[in-house]
Structure 1
Amino acid sequence: MIVEGTVLRGPEFEPVEGRVVAEDGEIVAVEEESVESSKVILPAFVNAHTHIGDSIAKEAGGGLDLDELVAPPDGLKHRLLRQASREEKVAAMRRSIRFMEQTGTASFLEFREGGVEGVYALREAAERLAVDPVILGRETVEAMEAADGFGASGARDAEFGRERTATDRAGKLFGIHAGERDATDINPALDLAPDFLVHMVHPESLHLDRVADSEIPVVVCPRSNLVTGVGVPPIRDLAERTTVALGTDNVMLNSPSMFREMEFAAKLADVSAREVLRMATRNGAEIAGLDAGLIEEGRPAKLLVLDGDSDNLAGAQDVVRAVVRRAGASDVLDAVL
């Protein structure tokens, strides 16, 4: 496979004119050379936090607060999940995964409700699609054992010490929500030494220092936080201290579009477009333990190809900034996943 155009190469996403050459799913060369192509080639996205089971209830719960929407066990999403059949949930999740596939997301980190059966249902939904889910089971150790790790709801809901120990022994990922409503559950979450935290809307100076000292990555979901009314994460403060990735969170609240999440984050936070693109690609891959998110020799050939001559992108003076702040699904020519 050969793709020509402007390649956003390496960890700094340096725009170079040339081509990406891939064989057997691996990038074997990135050649800088004059080419006649307006395509823009970037790494495929990694969506670092999702709840795609909520695909059965898009835009449900308008006007409800966060606890009414998603708090276990009786938040609206959990009631709707219990009421839906397995077939309905699988079909709805499959449509969301297909949307991610069409818009260039190669992998997503899913906090999967429903125990072991929920893990199996998501695997069924992803069958024969090019997107690879990294599934973190919830609720039980058995769900973790059937999945790629454990996704904890938050230290305000339970202690999770047993689940953390079991996940560590299994050599799997452990992620936990923290600081979404307020700061009270951040220290208990950090005490568990998780592989990553999700949200961190309300960290105080002590928490930021602990994050920096421990180098625990953080996944931020600014669109979701705004919708639920909890505030917005201090993205710059977090990015100055640790690895930060982007997630789209509940499909009930937001589309799983990394284009929209990048644009929102870039216009909300005082961070560069390159840093935001890194949050949407390389950083999420690092958290998930994936060798992806960069266009370099030896990396997997997971690429997103945009039409740089679309009515939306034509004339852009800064390609990386345009990709982050204005590109969208209509600009996608191909997703090589």
Structure 2
Amino acid sequence: MPALEGTVLVGESFEPVTGRVVVEDGRIEAVEETDTASTDIILPAFVNAHTHLGDAVAKDAAVGLSLDAAVAPPDSLKHRRLADADRAELVTAMRRTLRFMQRTGTVSTLDFREFGREGARTLREAAEPLSIDPFVFGSGDASVLDVADGFGASGANDDDFGPQRDAAADRGVPFAIHAGEPDQTDIHPALDLEPDLLVHMVHAAGEHLERVAEQSVPVAVCPRANTVLGVGRPPIRDLLDHTTVALGTDNVMLNPPSMFREMAYTVRQFDVSAREVLRMATTAGAEIAGLDCGVVAPGKRAALTVLDGDSDNLAGSRHPVESVVRRATALDVERVIC
């Protein structure tokens, strides 16, 4: 493919470089500094660090409901709607959501998929015709790991996930678990399972942060969803000071899985820089899932989002990283290379 030219956000620091990205056989061959007339902005494609794509069958159905009423297993509105949906409806809803994510710059999503082996297979089917490649955290018993990429637990207060954690360790795949969303009672029990990823950590206190650092456990935060459900604000600054933090959009029934919206909300509401937020939306999620993307650098997979820097929204930008995080929208996406 022809080289991509414009302002390139290079490496983990996202340093803006005027030049071009040379791609060969699906990988970045070189990043070259050179004069160019292109106003495009080239950045890593996003990795959404936490979703529940099955919720796409019930968009906005939970408006005004509490966390338990909206999404808590096993009898919440979400789980009732999922149980009522047939396979074709689920596949169509998830495929359309994945297509939206792909068109808006996301190359992969770390999805917690309900309903065991069948649920994981349904998501695989939904993704088959698309370029976006979901990383599936399966549920149920340990046999789901025959189909899924890892295990995703609802929370340490909900069940005994020891067998699933052991099975994931035996297979060398990640074990992830929700923790600290409604309160902090499940955080220490979750950490006792030695997870590879914690999700939410809204109510993490100093004692939890110390354990997170000691165990080197990354965290996926979903600040918009936490706000919608009224559970509080994750201590993102403190989390960043202790571990790797990635950005997710959580339940599709609550919010569209737009990383642009999530980034803009996060940088405005929390004590974080635009560069930190962009890393949370790209590099961090890729590292957590072991994906060969998330950074524009030679040797990496060419998973890139190209923005029109001369769009009516972005024209005149003086600080590309700030503009990508604070201002850019789906309408500015010119091309997604997966």
**TM tier relative to shorter chain:** over 0.9
Distance in 2 separating the partners of 1:168 and 1:328:
39
Distance in 1 separating the partners of 2:336 and 2:63:
33
Equivalent in the alignment of 1:216: 217
Letter in 2 for 1:70: V
- Give yes or no for the alignment of 1:321 onto 2:329: no
Q: Deviation digits for residues 273-296 of structure 1, max 9, x if unmatched?
A: 001000000000000011110000
Equivalent in the alignment of 2:196: 195
Distance in 2 separating the partners of 1:289 and 1:254:
26
Distance in 2 separating the partners of 1:231 and 1:144:
33
Equivalent in the alignment of 2:105: 104
SS in 2 for 1:223: helix
Equivalent in the alignment of 2:49: 48
Distance in 1 separating the partners of 2:28 and 2:62:
44
Give the C-alpha shift of residue 144 in structure 1: 2.5
Counterparts of residues 57-206 of structure 1 (less than 5 Å)? 57-206=58-207
Distance in 1 separating the partners of 2:73 and 2:54:
14
Letter in 1 for 2:252: V
SS in 1 for 2:134: strand
Letter in 2 for 1:316: S
Alignment: residue pair count: 337
TM-score by length of 1: 0.99
Q: Deviation digits for residues 81-126 of structure 1, max 9, x if unmatched?
A: 0101100000000000000110110011010001111111100000
Regions of 4+ moved over 4 Å: none
Equivalent in the alignment of 2:40: 39
Distance in 2 separating the partners of 1:309 and 1:231:
38
Distance in 2 separating the partners of 1:11 and 1:223:
25
SS in 2 for 1:6: strand
Q: Identical aligned pairs, as a percentage?
A: 62
Letter in 2 for 1:163: Q
Equivalent in the alignment of 2:243: 242
Distance in 2 separating the partners of 1:265 and 1:298:
30
Distance in 1 separating the partners of 2:306 and 2:126:
25
Distance in 2 separating the partners of 1:140 and 1:274:
39
Distance in 2 separating the partners of 1:243 and 1:259:
20
Equivalent in the alignment of 1:332: 333
Equivalent in the alignment of 2:309: 308
Give the C-alpha shift of residue 141 in structure 1: 1.1
Give the C-alpha shift of residue 314 in structure 1: 1.0
Letter in 2 for 1:221: C
Give the C-alpha shift of residue 156 in structure 1: 1.1
Letter in 2 for 1:320: V
SS in 2 for 1:132: coil
Distance in 2 separating the partners of 1:96 and 1:334:
18
Q: Deviation digits for residues 8-60 of structure 1, max 9, x if unmatched?
A: 00110000000000011000010001100000000000001000000000000
Distance in 1 separating the partners of 2:289 and 2:216:
15
Give the C-alpha shift of residue 202 in structure 1: 0.2
Letter in 2 for 1:303: L
Equivalent in the alignment of 2:17: 16
Q: Deviation digits for residues 250-308 of structure 1, max 9, x if unmatched?
A: 00001011111111111111111001000000000000011110000000011000011
Distance in 2 separating the partners of 1:175 and 1:144:
13
Distance in 1 separating the partners of 2:146 and 2:165:
12
- RMSD between aligned residues: 0.7
TM-score by length of 2: 0.99
Distance in 2 separating the partners of 1:195 and 1:145:
19
Give the C-alpha shift of residue 63 in structure 1: 1.5
Are the aligned partners of 2:48 and 2:249 in contact in 1 as well (CA < 8 Å)? yes
Q: Deviation digits for residues 169-189 of structure 1, max 9, x if unmatched?
A: 011110000000011000000
Letter in 2 for 1:256: P
Give the C-alpha shift of residue 159 in structure 1: 2.1
Are the aligned partners of 2:221 and 2:245 in contact in 1 as well (CA < 8 Å)? yes
In structure 1, runs of 5+ residues without a counterpart are none
Give the C-alpha shift of residue 311 in structure 1: 1.1
Distance in 1 separating the partners of 2:200 and 2:122:
26
